Structure 1
């Protein structure tokens, strides 16, 4: 048989450790209940505020996406409209955007539409606005900078276009630069600087040897070199 443990009188007189700890905890709660309730209430408010702001942000994002979709629809359905009407409608929608990535995308769409409809000064202003607000090194920044260069080229301001194309090439990043180099060569040619135009094309032959558009480079180079 297992031996039973006998309790001594002095053991019975010892305070129960669990009850003692519980009493101390209750005393602590009673003493600091105001502070504890304030902390809990503050945490509750913070969590509620976080959920509210998160919900508001999602609603705002959906609203901006809806505006951007409306702009795309306007562009796709623009055959029955004049260029001025289309650009006016796009600009009105653009003004409703709040600062953020969606506004940058909307600005690029507006600028591209202005460019395609030969509103080069307006396109230049819109591309510049996007570039001013887009973080350097991002795709939005690169596209806006490319738009600026193309707008100067379309305005036949080849000096400015060359400067912008060079800046794009010198920027760090892994963005596709084939057509940037091609634009630079083209602007040199339009400026009657055939030597630099040829140098850019030869650089492209080495740099983009496997590019699908290399034939265009070779043809341009042959044309500049003239008959053998």
Structure 2
């Protein structure tokens, strides 16, 4: 026959303490029933609200990605058939974007399409809108600044392009800068300033000694020196 555990005075005291605590809890719940149910309801409402907000944000993100995909298809169509004018359709899609990073990406896509068509003023306008609205120093902001520099260079407004290229170099330590330096060197050359062009090309060699396109820099240096 199994030996039964004999309760000690310590066990009895612990049981008595638990019973008193349980009784106090029941009494508290009975006395503050409205408060307890109110807190529980508030917690439930916060959890449900958080879940609904997450669902809405996920749905909105998916809708914006779908719109962006449609814009990419239009850009590809433009590239395959340069005679087609699809920028107005892209502009219509852009109007359906909610404010935020995805809209900035869509604006950059539209600006790039204008640039590819040689519509530099329209490209500059859209890039400028991104620089005014995007967070300074963010990737979208820097990409828009880069696009502005390319567009001004294409318009042969080399001094404006130089200023933008230099500002990107001065403020964008984490952004790939090889092609920014190359653009700056091109602009100096176009401004008939071979001395500064050579200085920039030498700086490229020092900063990017392992870049796969370094031979282009060496050829240009031999040409200018």
Give the TM-score taking structure 2 as reference length. Answer: 0.87
2 CA distance for matches of 1:45 and 1:35?
15
Instruction: Decide whether the 8 Å contact of 1:115 with 1:151 is kept in 2.
Output: yes
Tell me what 1:123 maps to.
123
Tell me what 1:11 maps to.
none
Instruction: Decide whether the 8 Å contact of 1:110 with 1:126 is kept in 2.
Output: yes
1 CA distance for matches of 2:7 and 2:172?
83
Tell me what 2:109 maps to.
109
2 CA distance for matches of 1:6 and 1:169?
80
Q: CA separation of 1:183/1:5 partners in 2, compared to 1, >3 Å: closer, same or farther?
A: closer
Matches within 5 A, 1:7-22: 17-22=17-22
| Correspondence 1:56 to 2:59 | no
Give, in angstroms, the shift of residue 5 of structure 1.
Answer: 7.2
2 CA distance for matches of 1:181 and 1:5?
87
Give, in angstroms, the shift of residue 136 of structure 1.
Answer: 3.0
1 CA distance for matches of 2:7 and 2:75?
93
1 CA distance for matches of 2:190 and 2:135?
32
CA offsets 1:88-113 (integer angstroms, 9 cap, x no match): 11111111111122111111111111
Matches within 5 A, 1:41-190: 41-78=41-78, 79-80=80-81, 82=83, 85-190=85-190
Q: CA separation of 1:55/1:33 partners in 2, compared to 1, >3 Å: closer, same or farther?
A: same
2 CA distance for matches of 1:202 and 1:94?
42
Instruction: Decide whether the 8 Å contact of 2:162 with 2:187 is kept in 1.
Output: yes
Unaligned runs of 5+ in 1: 8-14
Q: CA RMSD in A?
A: 2.4
| Correspondence 1:40 to 2:40 | yes
Count of aligned positions: 216
Give, in angstroms, the shift of residue 173 of structure 1.
Answer: 2.2
Instruction: Decide whether the 8 Å contact of 1:178 with 1:208 is kept in 2.
Output: yes
Tell me what 1:217 maps to.
217
